[in-house]
Structure 1
């Protein structure tokens, strides 16, 4: 009896331990392609990403909600498809106003209400409520170029991360090639830009701001946050600036890869992951932490696709398209999850998931999935059942979006693109003669044709109509999860005329 009692006690203790909410770390690379990591066939060493794959679960069919960065970041934090926001195409700039409106709950809000200490460190790119000067400043030396000289850098911004559930932040406003080039700490600029610098686009910059230092600075701040927060539950959102252009590996990593600056920068990005793992181990919370690593979209051609291919490195693997496109190369991304004791080491999952799923997953991991309100995480499905190798994952279909606002819908092996072209930067480009003369939509069987080379839309007309009806309902309902109908933001969603003529159900939105 005594032995049985001990077993029962141990079982209860084990159950209680698993019921404790984990720390959560979400690392988001910028423009890392599906084929970039070594474990996926990449040419350069990525030992820390390989370690995550060996110690956790690798998803082979994970997607961002958009093929470009701002929209994907919106969806990660809100659990809502990006095209439900007012941003229907393109991305924001460094001077843009906030995309997430007052009253829209984020995953950081949700976790903060559950007692988590929350921080975002890295690239924000969701707009900031800048204060503005009556007259624009001039550079103290050199030319005054670019946008942002009219911003008041002496004041904190409004509706920044601190207004969206984060207790701390250390960020740059947008991409590393978008001015202003200045850090903000807890929503307040750390310096007043006095010179013009250009890491592609010229604009106001703090005198000591250098692009190659960003990864170092973000890593330092992230390690500090983990160290200071290790005695309580914490959520760290770490959106990196790499390997996005400008491709600026630091001196320590120059010429390490053997295939040029992009490979060096990729290795430095991998090293940041190693630093985070080291800090989690240093403070003794590595076994109590759910860590997710992914990218905000696919590889960007601006980083030199042809040069990489010549070196034998295939950043997109065998996928068609690149960042910006509706094809798989635009939005199928690396996705790794490590949670010791919960996620089986060395496991692989082929389920189709989306970055919108983070919100519901975080809620589920903390035991609070039932607490999600009807106006939160409308397109988020918990992947916790997949992480535990259990039944219960509820995503029926996934909706993709390109830089010009083109839609695609994926259900099972089938993917319907609601455009005749790439929807982005690849050929055939939107508006090209090839686009105008092509069938209005594209249908691919990704199981038989992962390269999306054979358009079956004219042969499978009933399936095209079925998928189009699913998309129309998802748009109209304002959600894809169970719950009351919601409204999308802004004006009604418009699809191309030729698409609506072919599929009238999409003309009734």
Structure 2
């Protein structure tokens, strides 16, 4: 088996010392909206396996990513830091990008590997495709997946078809005739182009293999699925030719594969010592209509700082640690996962490095969260808003072109999310004191983050090995 040698790389002492520490699995989907699960209100998409996780675990209804697009969001999850703090805030990486996540950052994988955990990344990485930035440079023992989004072509991102269309859905073979997206094992391309019809299932096969091979020692599995990012593909047994059901097919296929993985955890007797977290990297790509998802009651979607862009579904499952059948509106974020996992393993994070996450293990049994604010940056890293408590301020630039002249103004929006989750009632004019308080805090928080930004890895840098 691919992962069969991991156990021999861990000492008996380390395995013994880690025996009471939970296994951790993070399932991270791509562009899945707040309204795309049964347990989050969907009446059109059947997700019985994820719904079962929710029934047996804890559902988070006020859970945020740190950005509304892929690369910054993934960087924040793994490092517990705002993307701007680690230089990963300026939109997404492409096949021609010459930078990526710096190996000096302390990731969830780094932390757990230092405790004797077996670590594997299976799925979409999108934090740099150069060897110095791929998963094995960032705490993972192995990697199997695509290095960037499934609508990107190796090596220079040229000659791409339309990213999503009913015609592409009808021609499922297009994934191996029109796209040149690579599949990587560790640092080597093993399939070009990757057959995207089977990739969700193959990710799950590898995930199950990893869990099975490491059932006798602590393990961390990071499973960032490529889907439902467009273009959409599924295996033949999950395919519905009606393009109106394209997105539905993909989510239901993901749900079935989640069920396979969860069944493995249960059948191996690992339930009482495993924590599974299911969430999405950002909101749905609404402009692709039936190829995109829904934000449910939230406003807008991917690429925006409205709630639909960054508030995402989240389910945490951990029998014996996380109460079953419970829901919380506690203010939480993907940035909180690193310190929370450190707390679950009774360990401390390295001193001297500032992060922006909090230990939210208290929210397993309470609606009170240590997080009280979240700074919002645009998809290209521009400061655009802040939430403090129930209040959210947005300062959105608006550019107009008239008579050859370009002018930029700022539209201010203020919402009370406890009363107005859909962001329909702008209170900026009627609550000037609250608006000014949030504006001042937004500027101060961004000033601190900017002053303490850490560098990304760049191709001209000297590679730093861990």
TM-score, with normalisation over the residues of structure 1?
Answer: 0.75
1:473 is aligned to 444
2:133 & 2:243 partners in 1: Cα distance?
A: 43
1:41 is aligned to 41
1:54 & 1:478 partners in 2: Cα distance?
A: 38
1:326 & 1:320 partners in 2: Cα distance?
A: 9
- Counterpart of 1:267 (choices 223, 243, 252) is 252
- Counterpart of 1:283 (choices 268, 271, 276) is 268
Task: Tell me: CA distance 1:82–1:478, structure 2 relative to 1, closer, same or farther (3 Å).
Answer: same
Secondary structure of the structure 2 residue equivalent to 1:478: helix
- Counterpart of 2:452 (choices 487, 494, 503) is 487
1:256 & 1:49 partners in 2: Cα distance?
A: 25
- Counterpart of 1:419 (choices 370, 380, 396) is 396
2:409 & 2:133 partners in 1: Cα distance?
A: 44
Secondary structure of the structure 1 residue equivalent to 2:225: strand
TM-score, with normalisation over the residues of structure 2?
Answer: 0.82
- Counterpart of 1:160 (choices 134, 142, 151) is 134
Bigger Cα displacement from structure 2, 281-290 vs 117-126: 281-290
8 Å contact kept, 1:84–1:489: yes
Displacement of 1:164 in angstroms is 0.7
1:233 aligns with 2:207: no
Secondary structure of the structure 2 residue equivalent to 1:67: coil
- Name the structure with the higher strand share: 2
1:212 aligns with 2:197: yes
1:452 & 1:274 partners in 2: Cα distance?
A: 34
8 Å contact kept, 1:94–1:125: no
Deviations 1:85-105 (A, max 9, x none): 334332111342342123211
* Pairing of 1:188-203 with structure 2 (within 5 A): 188-191=188-191
2:401 & 2:115 partners in 1: Cα distance?
A: 51
RMSD: 2.6
| Relative contact order higher in (CA < 8 Å, ≥ 6 apart) | 2
1:375 aligns with 2:353: yes
2:203 & 2:310 partners in 1: Cα distance?
A: 25
1:432 & 1:235 partners in 2: Cα distance?
A: 51
1:360 & 1:462 partners in 2: Cα distance?
A: 34
1:340 aligns with 2:325: no
Secondary structure of the structure 2 residue equivalent to 1:291: strand
8 Å contact kept, 2:18–2:218: no
Task: Tell me: CA distance 1:259–1:345, structure 2 relative to 1, closer, same or farther (3 Å).
Answer: farther
Displacement of 1:83 in angstroms is 2.0
Task: Tell me: CA distance 1:450–1:437, structure 2 relative to 1, closer, same or farther (3 Å).
Answer: farther
1:59 is aligned to 60
* Pairing of 1:242-321 with structure 2 (within 5 A): 242-255=227-240, 260-304=245-289, 315-321=294-300
Task: Tell me: CA distance 1:280–1:174, structure 2 relative to 1, closer, same or farther (3 Å).
Answer: same
1:445 is aligned to 416
When Rg is computed on C-alpha atoms for both structures, the one with the higher figure is 1
Secondary structure of the structure 2 residue equivalent to 1:123: coil
2:175 is aligned to none
1:270 & 1:436 partners in 2: Cα distance?
A: 47
2:28 is aligned to 28
The count of aligned residue pairs is: 410
2:407 & 2:427 partners in 1: Cα distance?
A: 18
8 Å contact kept, 1:244–1:303: no
Query: Runs of 5+ in structure 1 lacking a partner?
Result: 1-16, 130-156, 192-204, 309-313, 422-429, 480-485, 492-509
Structure 1 runs of 4+ aligned residues shifted over 6 Å read: 435-438
Deviations 1:342-394 (A, max 9, x none): 111110010111111111011011011x3432315x10111111114386x42
Task: Tell me: CA distance 1:460–1:247, structure 2 relative to 1, closer, same or farther (3 Å).
Answer: same
8 Å contact kept, 1:257–1:263: no
Deviations 1:217-276 (A, max 9, x none): 111111111011111000000000111101112211112999511111110011121111
8 Å contact kept, 2:125–2:134: no
